[in-house]
Chains A and B, each alone.
Chain A
Amino acid sequence: MSLQDEHLRQALKNAPDHDLVPGDAVRKKVLDYAQQAAKAKHESWLRRCFNVLSKWRITSWQLVGMSTVASVMLVTVMLRQQLPEESAWLNSDAKDIAQTEVDSPATGSAASTDQQEEFALPSKEEKVSPSAEVGLAKRLEESEPVERSDSKSEKAQKMVVAKTKPVKKLAPKTKKPAMDLSDKKDAVVAAPAPAPESRPTSIATVEADAAEATVAEDKAAVAGATGRAVRIDGETKPTIAARQKTSQVREGISGAALAKEDIHSGNFRILFAGDSWPAGKPLLDVETGFRIALIKNGSIKIAENEVEAYNQTMRDWYHENKGLSN
């Protein structure tokens, strides 16, 4: 028996319902649905994410959590934006003060040894090798004889000369071993760090600083006569030798001139001419925030009547340039 019947097929073809179609509403509904479905599928992922987020109900706990995370991130960013130099400067002073208090807690005279030596003329007990000083002085005399004078005009002229000198000319001298390494270590460690960076002291650091001190000494030998700091690697750093030379120059000069030199070299301080500093009182000037440098009898060659002029000049500069010293 065949499974195909042409007569029945023909009867179906001629049946009254052969041309029936669904209503227009059904057709429109199906076509619209297909069009919207295709559009929804190819919707951008961003819009889909937005739709998901708009449907997402945020609970109060989730809101609190997100707020906490945002606050922590904000505080972290603010802390990171704090000026590092400012904090380093303050930390450096705090370390100096702490060191001072540890060194002489009972005497009540809290001036640190470093600070005292800073204002003193070089002596035989100093850590810097005297042979190096002699060698540098000889070279200095040969190249550019400098007369020590109190005259302000001569000082200014020397400063101009020092400023116009190209620093790079001194660079080749850096390789010359001028000091014993052990001596340098002591000298560098003993010297207060004028730069704002506070680096951990290690053998490598000491050796690097010793080599740097060699450069600094050579430059200071030239610049020290003029009393100004040496620019090393684009940064003004008063060095040990520069300070020693500066101390020599300070002898007999006016307080105002000395203050200007210190300001120029970035050595901000207020001098204290009294016999002893009150125990427990921080070595910081209340008005300016500069550290207090104590002057003992014979430890600094500056007349006591010039101390006030020195301090006044320093304070005047502070008020004129408030904030720059920091």
Chain B
Amino acid sequence: MNEALSDEALMRRFCAGETQVFQLLYARHEKPLYRYVRRLLGNGEALQAEDVFQDTWIKLVDARDRWQARDNATFKTWLYTLAHNRAIDVLRKSGREISVEDGWASDDNQEPWQLWPASSAAQPEQQAFWRKAGQQLLDCLEGLPALQRAAFLLHHDDGLTLEEIVQVIDAEFETVKSRLRYALKKLRACMGAHIKPLIETDSSA
């Protein structure tokens, strides 16, 4: 990305009074951020997603003078931190936050996704498969604790590194690592249990 059009450069220009650049920043992060908030809140608090999303941006605007682009604190990290904290507040107030491990069976030997079609497949059947898998993954995410869900979403969907996730969820590096490991283990198990019959059905057909 051009340095002049990086998030940090745009944010600096916005702080200097260029209101137009904020529209570019917003457009760049609107969809992924809303998706993160929506998935982190889950189906139970889906109605709060727009409020959390809006509050995040307003807080960003209000706190723009305190923001400084640093090497280890990018604009994206800061934006997701604001959104994460606001979503966690909503979950805490609703009592839906799952803070303990669930009873999913852990079987490291089970690797059903190895039978899945390639992710780059463009055939309509394969697209339908991945779409079902995506929906299944969303259902599986509902059963994860909030922090594991956040670590997984930030790492796999939004592309944040482990160091950036540490800053967003304000946890130790090892803690983030273990949360992410737990999340993957559970999701694989969940996905394998649901996808395997689907694969077998598709294969027989």
Contacts of A15 in B (CB 8 A): 131, 134-135, 137-138
Q: A5 contacts which chain B residues (CB < 8 A)?
A: 113, 156, 184, 187-188
The minimal Cβ–Cβ distance linking A14 to chain B, given in whole angstroms, is: 4
Tell me, in angstroms, the Cα distance from A181 to B138 when the chains sit together.
Answer: 117
Q: Is the beta-carbon distance between A11 and B191 smaller than 8 angstroms?
A: yes
**A-chain residues with CB within 8 Å of residue B31 when the two chains form the complex:** 19-21
User: How far apart are the CA atoms of A12 and B156 in the complex, in Å?
Assistant: 8
A37 to B156, CA, bound (A): 34
Q: Mark B96-112, 1 if CB is under 8 A from A, else 0.
A: 00000000000010000
Contacts of A20 in B (CB 8 A): 31, 34-35, 38
Of the stretches B50-58, B66-74, B75-83, B166-174, the one at the interface is B50-58
Cβ-based interface call for A31 (8 A) = yes
- Judged by DSSP, the binding face of A is helix
Q: How far is the CA of A14 from the CA of B50 in the complex (A)?
A: 22
Option from B35, B50, B116, B184 in Cβ contact (under 8 Å) with A3? B184
Whether A175 sits at the interface, judged by CB under 8 Å, is: no
Bound Cα distance from A1 to B111, whole angstroms: 12
B128-162 to A contact mask, C-beta < 8 Å, 1/0: 00110111111000000000000011011100001
Interface residues of A (CB under 8 A from B): 1, 3-23, 26-27, 29-31, 33-35, 37-39, 41-42
Q: Which residues of B contact A18 (CB under 8 A)?
A: 35, 134
Picked from B30, B113, B185, B188, the residue with its CB within 8 Å of the CB of A21 is B30
What residue in chain B is nearest A39 (Cβ atoms)?
Answer: B19
Taking a contact as CB atoms under 8 Å apart, the answer to whether A22 and B35 are in contact is no
Dominant SS among interface residues on chain B: helix
C-alpha gap A204/B19 in the complex (Å)? 74
Residue of B nearest to A35 (CB): B19
B26, B50, B113, B156 interface centre (most CB from chain A within 10 Å): B156
CB pair A14 B134 closer than 8 Å: yes
Complex interface: chain B residues within 8 A of A16 (CB): 131, 134-135, 138
- Select one of A4, A8, A26, A42 contacting B17, CB under 8 A: A42
| Bound: A184/B157 CA distance, A | 109
B87 shortest CB reach to chain A, Å: 14
Closest A-B pairs by Cβ, 8 of them: A15-B134, A10-B119, A14-B130, A7-B113, A11-B133, A14-B134, A30-B57, A11-B137
A13 CA / B162 CA spacing, docked (Å): 20
A14 CA / B135 CA spacing, docked (Å): 8
**Chain B residues whose CB sits within 8 angstroms of the CB of A30 once the complex forms:** 26, 54, 57-58, 61
Residues of A within 8 A of B108 (CB): 1
CB neighbours of B57 from chain A (8 A): 30, 33-34
Residue of B whose beta carbon sits closest to that of A21: B31
Do B181 and A29 touch (CB < 8 A)? no
Q: Contacts A5-B188, A22-B30, A22-B50 known; A11 to B134 CB distance under 8 Å?
A: yes
* Total interface residues in chain B, CB < 8 Å: 49
B127: Cβ under 8 A from any A Cβ: yes
List of A residues within 8 angstroms of B19 by Cβ? 34-35, 38-39
Q: Which residues of A contact B39 (CB under 8 A)?
A: 17
Which of the residues B14, B116, B185 comes within 8 Å of A34, measured between beta carbons?
A: B14
Write the nearest CB–CB distance from A19 to chain B, whole angstroms. Answer: 7
Q: How far is the CB of B157 from chain A (nearest CB, A)?
A: 5
Please name the residue on chain A nearest to B20 by beta carbon.
Answer: A35
Tell me the bound Cα distance from A5 to B108 in angstroms. Answer: 14
Given the complex, which residues of A lie within 8 Å of B119, measured CB to CB? 6-7, 9-10
Q: Once the chains are docked, how many angstroms separate the CA of A8 from the CA of B155? A: 11
Interface 1/0s, chain B 176-188, versus A by CB < 8 A? 0100110011011
Chain B 31-60 interface 0/1 with A at a Cβ cutoff of 8 Å (1 = within): 100110011000000000110011001100
B residues in contact with A1, CB < 8 Å: 108, 181, 184-185
Residues of the A chain whose Cβ atoms lie less than 8 Å from the Cβ of B35: 17-18, 20
How far apart sit A9 and B130, CA to CA, in the bound complex (Å)? 11
Instruction: Tell me how far the C-beta of A22 lies from the nearest C-beta in chain B, rounded to whole angstroms.
Output: 5
Known A18-B35, A21-B34, A38-B14: A7·B116 in contact at CB below 8 Å:
yes
> Provided the pairs A20-B35, A30-B58 are in contact, do residues A8 and B156 lie with their beta carbons within 8 angstroms?
yes
Interface centre among B53, B58, B137, B162 (most CB of A within 10 A): B137
| B125 contacts partner chain A, Cβ-Cβ < 8 Å | no
